[in-house]
Chain A
């Protein structure tokens, strides 16, 4: 950029103003001077020629006058006066010589003649005295050669004028050089320096003339330019910095847009796509270059996720109303290839500095996974993970909806509350996996029995609920009977075992007068409880007269048990176990648990609340309470006899067997109370022992080493094989009461009792018969050889002394 400027300046300098000034002043003056000299010479030369001619004429007259006064012959007489006259004229008229000749070859020569002289001859007719005819006379005048004169004159004049003019021109040139050329050259030099980048170069301001003024002016202008240049440089630096910062910001923004995990689409004010970031390209299937300037509706189509109906793009509303717009519905974006992607989107306007809308930015997030998870969570929140049926929460919601619907329409609906019977047996004997399998199979079967619009849900462990829409009680009964038959006919096979389960069904009508879902569920629970109470495997239609004591379902027992423990309304009873050999009636007794009713103080049998305690995992708590109280009793009444037992048999639930801390608890209680472990016999049911065989063996071995005895309770009820007996190191076998009650009339039962008794004895285990309620049975047991008997015919349960109410 600087090179052309320097060339221009160089040309300017070489244009050489001093040269021009010199050319004009010096050479102009010289030429004019020479011209003047030439003009002067020309005039002088003309004057010389003219003077010579004039002098010749004058001389001619003077000579003629002189000759007239001379008598003839002129040149012979009196010529002395003529000579003097001619000599006088020679001095006056500046001629070199004069020769006068007359007829007769008489000559008079005045002066000295030479060939170089310029001769002028004139013929004169002179009248003579006494002669009538004039005498012809020739006069020749000799002047100096005029060319030499002129030549000399030229040399003198030219040299004089030439030198004067040259000197004058040189002086003039020098004056101009001092006044113009030098300041101008300095200014040019300064300008050249300035142009070459020396910004400090300034003109000389010391001149007291126009150059000084011009220098000051230019200096101010340069200072101003320098200041402006400085400002411009600073502004440029700032602009450069700003540009760099903007570039960094732009890069950062672009990198951010490239990096973020959300699709960003920008449009102009007319809704034409301007930019897609990589995520947007991936989601839409459009490339950034392809989509550029295309209408947004061409690139992005949003539909409702469920219906597939197209919804307006929020960008258009955003551009129209100049505000942020969110996509409210659960929308899906249709990709270019037609595939839909679940998105959440919002559009925000882009405004200029004046606030005008210049476009919009749409941010989309691919929420396919989140929506899938949300759907899964929603499904899991409303469905049972095992069976896939609705869970209790969802069932409650559906029930509430149904209640509102019933109130509005006045229609009747039916709720069936199903509680499986003998499910616990499967669970305890074959484990939870088997129980889960049973529930899964039953849920599938039940699902086939309900209509499409009916609701089937699993409400708890082995509880199901069914909402029958728009039907009466008869239809409900029909469906319930179908369930009964289905479950009765169903056989659950697990490994080598076959189970048959039953179901107790509570039926509750839902009408417009039904108050709440809690009321319906409570009624269903009570009806189901009533069905169980009436012998299980049946249907009970709720009428509202199920009784105060029975209206509580198992759920309600949980707080009641806690409250009874807190209010000390649990009591220990004993039932003596009589030796059929020695007849000792007080040596051995089983501890039984009773609850005192909160309402009327009556005694509640354990069958009322133990199932609930088992279902809601309260058994470890109750077991600990019983052990603690029993040991306290033994500590208070050591070595009891005379009607009081010496050994106490305490039942341990299956849940406590599964509790790894339970062993430590018993040991600590024994150590704390200093009770001899030999006085304690722990009873575990056959089914719970088999279900927790590992823990049972560990517990039995650990406590037997300390001296505790063990009894296997309800032996024969669990359909277990005798092989378990080899692993369970117990002291007593308590034959299940189901075999004892009817053994007097049922030979099979008797045979079973004999078999169990025999096996026990063979293994060195003493046997105890439960549910001995008649003397006949007692006698029969003696015959068989059973060691101990327990039942109403032997001893009615009674409170422990000191523990009774």
Chain B
């Protein structure tokens, strides 16, 4: 599984959960994303590992980064945090943010362009 497919599936499920107001599902997705970010055991990585595919490592790109943390990991933590803040703590005030994030994640999967992730890499996190 690629990160693109992951984002596409995650965004789709999150949109469905929000639409049908399936709060447990939303909580689960948020918890899963935070867990991925905290443990760095992302689902695509785990699946690749299970399938015996060695992860592609761009040594040149990694060596040129300034912060020794993977961008995907930071991205998951930040998205998870945004979901927690908007959906759990301030649902009335920030009701639009979960929807926005869900669309963003779905769009990133569909277009294979994730502005947040690009920004992370630009800042200096590892690709």
**Which residues of A does B touch, CB under 8 Å?**
19, 22-23, 26-27, 30, 34, 38, 151, 154-155, 158-159, 162, 166, 169-170, 173
A27/B107 in contact, CB under 8 A:
yes
**Nearest chain-A residue to B21 (Cβ)?**
A155
Given the interface pairs A22-B111, A27-B113, the reply to whether A155 lies near B103 with Cβ below 8 Å is: no
A residues near B115, Cβ cutoff 8 Å: 23, 27
B residues near A38, Cβ cutoff 8 Å: 96
Partner of A30, one of B15, B18, B103: B103
Q: Give the distance in Å from the alpha carbon of A505 to the alpha carbon of B21 in the complex.
A: 164
B21/A23 in contact, CB under 8 A:
no
**Nearest chain-A residue to B103 (Cβ)?**
A162
A34/B111 in contact, CB under 8 A:
no
A159/B110 in contact, CB under 8 A:
no
Q: Give the distance in Å from the alpha carbon of A170 to the alpha carbon of B109 in the complex.
A: 11
**Nearest chain-B residue to A147 (Cβ)?**
B92
> Does B123 reach chain A (CB closer than 8 Å)?
no
Q: Give the distance in Å from the alpha carbon of A22 to the alpha carbon of B111 in the complex.
A: 7
**Nearest chain-B residue to A29 (Cβ)?**
B107
Partner of B107, one of A151, A154, A155, A169: A169
> Does B41 reach chain A (CB closer than 8 Å)?
no
B residues near A26, Cβ cutoff 8 Å: 107, 111, 113
B113/A22 in contact, CB under 8 A:
yes
A30/B107 in contact, CB under 8 A:
yes
Given A30-B103, A38-B96, output 5 extra A-B contacts at Cβ < 8 Å: A26-B113, A27-B115, A34-B103, A155-B19, A166-B107
Given the interface pairs A162-B15, A162-B99, A166-B106, the reply to whether A173 lies near B111 with Cβ below 8 Å is: yes
B residues near A159, Cβ cutoff 8 Å: 15, 19
CB distance from B124 to the nearest CB of A (A): 16
Please count how many residues in chain B sit with their CB below 8 Å of the partner chain's CB atoms. Answer: 18
B19/A170 in contact, CB under 8 A:
no
> Does B100 reach chain A (CB closer than 8 Å)?
yes
**Which residues of B does A touch, CB under 8 Å?**
15, 18-19, 21, 95-96, 99-100, 103-104, 106-107, 110-113, 115, 118
B residues near A30, Cβ cutoff 8 Å: 103-104, 107
Q: Give the distance in Å from the alpha carbon of A170 to the alpha carbon of B112 in the complex.
A: 11
**Nearest chain-B residue to A156 (Cβ)?**
B19
CB distance from B110 to the nearest CB of A (A): 6
**Nearest chain-B residue to A177 (Cβ)?**
B111
CB distance from B21 to the nearest CB of A (A): 7
Q: Give the distance in Å from the alpha carbon of A158 to the alpha carbon of B100 in the complex.
A: 9
**Nearest chain-B residue to A170 (Cβ)?**
B110
Partner of B100, one of A19, A34, A154: A34
A residues near B19, Cβ cutoff 8 Å: 155, 159
CB distance from A686 to the nearest CB of B (A): 124
Q: Give the distance in Å from the alpha carbon of A158 to the alpha carbon of B103 in the complex.
A: 10
Given the interface pairs A19-B118, A159-B15, A162-B15, the reply to whether A170 lies near B99 with Cβ below 8 Å is: no
Give the residue among B95, B99, B100, B103 with the most A Cβ atoms within 10 A: B103
CB distance from A625 to the nearest CB of B (A): 121
Q: Give the distance in Å from the alpha carbon of A173 to the alpha carbon of B107 in the complex.
A: 11
Q: Give the distance in Å from the alpha carbon of A154 to the alpha carbon of B106 in the complex.
A: 19
Give the residue among B15, B113, B118 with the most A Cβ atoms within 10 A: B113
A residues near B110, Cβ cutoff 8 Å: 166, 170
**Nearest chain-B residue to A150 (Cβ)?**
B95
A residues near B106, Cβ cutoff 8 Å: 166
CB distance from B79 to the nearest CB of A (A): 16
Q: Give the distance in Å from the alpha carbon of A30 to the alpha carbon of B106 in the complex.
A: 11
Q: Give the distance in Å from the alpha carbon of A162 to the alpha carbon of B107 in the complex.
A: 10
B residues near A166, Cβ cutoff 8 Å: 103, 106-107, 110
Q: Give the distance in Å from the alpha carbon of A26 to the alpha carbon of B113 in the complex.
A: 9
A residues near B18, Cβ cutoff 8 Å: 155
CB distance from A56 to the nearest CB of B (A): 24
Q: Give the distance in Å from the alpha carbon of A391 to the alpha carbon of B111 in the complex.
A: 122
B residues near A162, Cβ cutoff 8 Å: 15, 99, 103
CB distance from B100 to the nearest CB of A (A): 6
Partner of B113, one of A19, A34, A158: A19
Q: Which 5 A-B pairs have the closest CB atoms?
A: A22-B113, A26-B111, A22-B111, A162-B103, A158-B99
Given the interface pairs A38-B96, A155-B19, A162-B15, the reply to whether A170 lies near B103 with Cβ below 8 Å is: no
Would you mind naming 12 contact pairs between A and B with Cβ atoms under 8 Å apart? A19-B113, A23-B115, A26-B107, A26-B111, A27-B113, A34-B99, A154-B95, A155-B21, A158-B96, A159-B15, A159-B19, A166-B103
Give the residue among B18, B95, B100, B111 with the most A Cβ atoms within 10 A: B111
